[in-house]
Amino acid sequence: MGYYNEEWLSLTFEILNSYDPYYENPEKLPGVDELNEVLQKYNLFEKKPTTFDDLAAIQKYRNQLRKLISIGSDEELVAFLTIFESQNPIRSRLSSEGNGNYKIIYGQSLKSNRPLVDAILAVCSFSLGRELVEYGRTRLKSCASTPCEEIFIDRSKNGLQRFCSKKCSTRFHVKKYRKSNK
């Protein structure tokens, strides 16, 4: 999907999947330094320092969103994403690529009076919302290979992707094969 910044979606899923109960220390964002590293990785919001309050708000957002994706209705999910997107709205503008081609560029006006966390969560809500528009709720999935609980967008042609990665697919099928050959 090329009509908005792809880094935004990567950031969204990194935040969404930043808690993994499979590991001894399941929290992948335990502190402000780790949050800053994630933001720098995607070259987003690096000029502004994050706080512990930002981290707590992001973790709360992640937990609520994961719950809504798993058991919430479409209406609840839309209402949740809309609340956060409206806190720091995304602006669009038309851009010329040359040769008669155009594209819409999305961005944020980072108002100095708005907290950084509002901008981060607006980007996450916006990008996930665009994916839902493009692919539908049925393509927002949780990995079928236990104990993995990663959430991903199924962009496959037939919509039958069950695993977040090749690693999880292999683990699932090896486990299934070993179980059948006992």
**CATH of the structural domain 6-135, one choice from 1.10.3300.10, 3.40.50.300, 2.60.120.10, 3.40.50.720:** 1.10.3300.10
Domain boundaries, the chain: 6-135, 141-182
Name the band, by pLDDT with cuts 50, 70 and 90, for residue 1: very low
Choose the most confident range, by mean pLDDT, from 4-8, 59-63, 113-117, 177-181.
Answer: 59-63
Identify any residues that bridge with 90 across adjacent strands, giving them in sequence order: 108
pLDDT in tens, 92-146: 778 788 888 887 777 766 555 678 898 899 999 999 998 999 999 999 999 998 8
Mean pLDDT of 7-19: 93
* DSSP class per residue in the chain: --SS-HHHHHHHHHHHT-B-TTSSS-BS--SHHHHHHHHHHTT-STTS---HHHHHHHHHHHHHHHHHHHH--HHHHHHHHHHHHHHS-EEEEEEEEETTEEEEEEEE---TTS-HHHHHHHHHHHHHHHHHHHH-GGGEEE-SSTT---EEE---SSS----SSHHHHHHHHHHHHHHHT-
